[in-house]
Amino acid sequence: MIAKIGRSSNLYGALAYNHKKVESEKGKILMTNKMIETTDGQYSVSQLAQSFDSYLAANRNTEKYTLHISLNPDPKDKISDEGFVRLAQEYMQEMGYGEQPYVVFKHLDIERTHIHIVSVAVDEMGRKISDRFEKRRSMEICRALENKFELAPAIMKKDDKYELTFHPVDYRAGDVKKQIASVIRHLPKYYRFRSLGEYNALLSLFNVTTEKADGELQGKLQSGLLYFPLNAEGEKAGNPFKASLFGRDAGLSALEKHFLKCRESLKDNILKSHLKGVIAKTLESTFNENDFKNNLIRQGINTVIRRNSSGMMYGITFIDHTSKTVWNGSGLGKEFSSNSLNERWKNKNLSENKKLRKDKNEILHTDKPSVALSEKPHQLFGFLENHQNGSQSEESFMESAVGLFSFDNDSVQEELEFEHQMRKRRKKKR
């Protein structure tokens, strides 16, 4: 069983999202705890919200007071309504929320039947209930409940590899559209890049590229994007997919807004100065392209090089995973451009390199250039490789399942979209 804990300052939104399921017969209320009861057992959103009023009135400056938890058993587990009620009660009790008002909703609209619990994280005196080591405690409680209720343990399965996180695309594995979607829907949320070239450098780490496509719509020339899977050599390896298949954020218009926003936020940014320093220092201590790239990879920086048909480098981009920023080489400075680096590496004399390395007490390399480290995404995405090798730890699995990268969870995405719609409605009313 996987537990996802969400916090916000929008109690009404959390209740409305779940109650909408009830109204459309895609969900139902299984139980309430310390809530104001109604004569007929039916509730409106305002009636549910009323039970939390005194807690919120007493709130002592806890900004994200709304607690929205989902408990997600394995789809194979057949759990009755009574079983879900017991799960919810024991989970909330063990997490320290057993004496809080809360309501339990069961969702029926997807194959994976699960429950949502809405409560508040402040007690009746307005004090915040401690959330120290919350993730660890939640995992331990889930494992205990799995044993008690004889549920399937939450371990990663091979055929789930595209469900929980974005992953380097393997065009031979099938369902390429879904693989690409798991990457491109969410990269702009975490990385800053200022051009299509920088975006493509980042996408290349996941075996994806995109190109502009022009067409005519109702007599007007329109521009859009096509996404392609790539093979190990960085060549297109399949049919293209229109950006519209992946949602609004994957389209050209949304990305151009992202470019503008990033250009502004990265202007005269201290991150740029720091990255330039790291690259310059690495250049001084390395003597060929492979050593340079390997050294940067160890520091959390991917180097993406573009070459022409004859193998000549004509472009270079740096992806700093620590700051989650992407930088074109020439944009950092002339000395980091592809032309400058081409000349630098071409003119290096091997014997001189050896002498310099001895002077610096560095370990000597053989006369042959070093072999580049595998061109894989930075260790930020390392749990994916562990998962593929079947050696993923429970903690890292839970991170991937319920942490930053739980992107393909349908209910989570739907909830975000619902909250976005509510904000738009409120703005219109004003």
| Residues 376-389, mean pLDDT to the nearest whole number | 43
Q: Would you say residue 256 has pLDDT above 50?
A: yes
- Is 237 in contact with 179 (CB distance < 8 Å)? no
Q: What is the pLDDT of residues 269-291, one digit of tens each?
A: 788 889 999 999 999 998 889 99
The per-residue pLDDT for 267 is 83
Q: What is the distance between the alpha carbons of residues 381 and 400, in angstroms, rounded to a whole number?
A: 9
Task: Please choose, from the candidates 16, 51, 55, 15, the residue with its C-alpha nearest in 3D space to the C-alpha of residue 36.
Answer: 51
Q: Would you say residue 225 has pLDDT above 60?
A: yes
Burial class (CB in 10 A: 0-12, 13-18, 19+), 339: middle
> Out of 224-233, 404-413, 418-427, which region has the weakest mean confidence (pLDDT)?
404-413
| Residues 349-355, mean pLDDT to the nearest whole number | 48
The per-residue pLDDT for 142 is 93
Q: Please state, rounded to an integer, the average pLDDT across all residues of the chain.
A: 80
Q: What is the pLDDT of residues 201-222, one digit of tens each?
A: 999 999 999 999 876 555 566 6
Tokens at 325, concatenated: 């920023």
| Residues 369-391, mean pLDDT to the nearest whole number | 45
- Is 291 in contact with 357 (CB distance < 8 Å)? no
Q: What is the distance between the alpha carbons of residues 390 and 381, in angstroms, rounded to a whole number?
A: 15
Query: What are residue 69's DSSP bridge partners?
Result: 5, 117
The per-residue pLDDT for 395 is 40
If you write DSSP's letter for every residue of 232-284 in order, what string do you get? TTS-B-S--EEGGGG-GGGSHHHHHHHHHHHHHHTTT-HHHHHHHHHHHHHHH
Task: Please choose, from the candidates 240, 236, 237, 186, the residue with its C-alpha nearest in 3D space to the C-alpha of residue 212.
Answer: 240
Tokens at 215, concatenated: 């067409």
Burial class (CB in 10 A: 0-12, 13-18, 19+), 389: exposed
pTM above 0.75, yes or no: no
Q: What is the pLDDT of residues 123-180, one digit of tens each?
A: 999 999 999 999 999 999 999 999 999 998 875 444 343 343 457 888 888 888 988 9
Q: What is the distance between the alpha carbons of residues 335 and 337, in angstroms, rounded to a whole number?
A: 6
The per-residue pLDDT for 387 is 37
Q: What is the distance between the alpha carbons of residues 224 and 212, in angstroms, rounded to a whole number?
A: 6
Element (H, E) at 56: helix 53-57
Inter-axis angle of helices 338-347 and 289-298, nearest 10:
120
Higher pLDDT, 198 or 248: 198
Residue 83, number of CB atoms within 10 A of its CB: 14
Task: Please choose, from the candidates 124, 90, 84, 120, the residue with its C-alpha nearest in 3D space to the C-alpha of residue 104.
Answer: 84
> Out of 144-158, 212-226, 341-355, 361-375, which region has the weakest mean confidence (pLDDT)?
361-375
Q: In 3-state terms, what secondary structure has residue 47?
A: helix
Inter-CA distances, 329 with 142, 205, 338, 346, Å: 47, 17, 7, 18
The per-residue pLDDT for 344 is 87
Burial class (CB in 10 A: 0-12, 13-18, 19+), 103: buried
Q: Would you say residue 386 has pLDDT above 80?
A: no
The per-residue pLDDT for 391 is 36
Tokens at 92, concatenated: 């909330």
The per-residue pLDDT for 30 is 94
The per-residue pLDDT for 249 is 86
pLDDT band at 326 (very low <50, low <70, confident <90, very high): very high
Q: What is the pLDDT of residues 1-15, one digit of tens each?
A: 999 999 999 999 999
Q: Would you say residue 325 has pLDDT above 70?
A: yes
Residue 385 makes CB contacts below 8 A (sequence gap 6+) with: 376
Q: Would you say residue 119 has pLDDT above 90?
A: yes
The per-residue pLDDT for 233 is 85
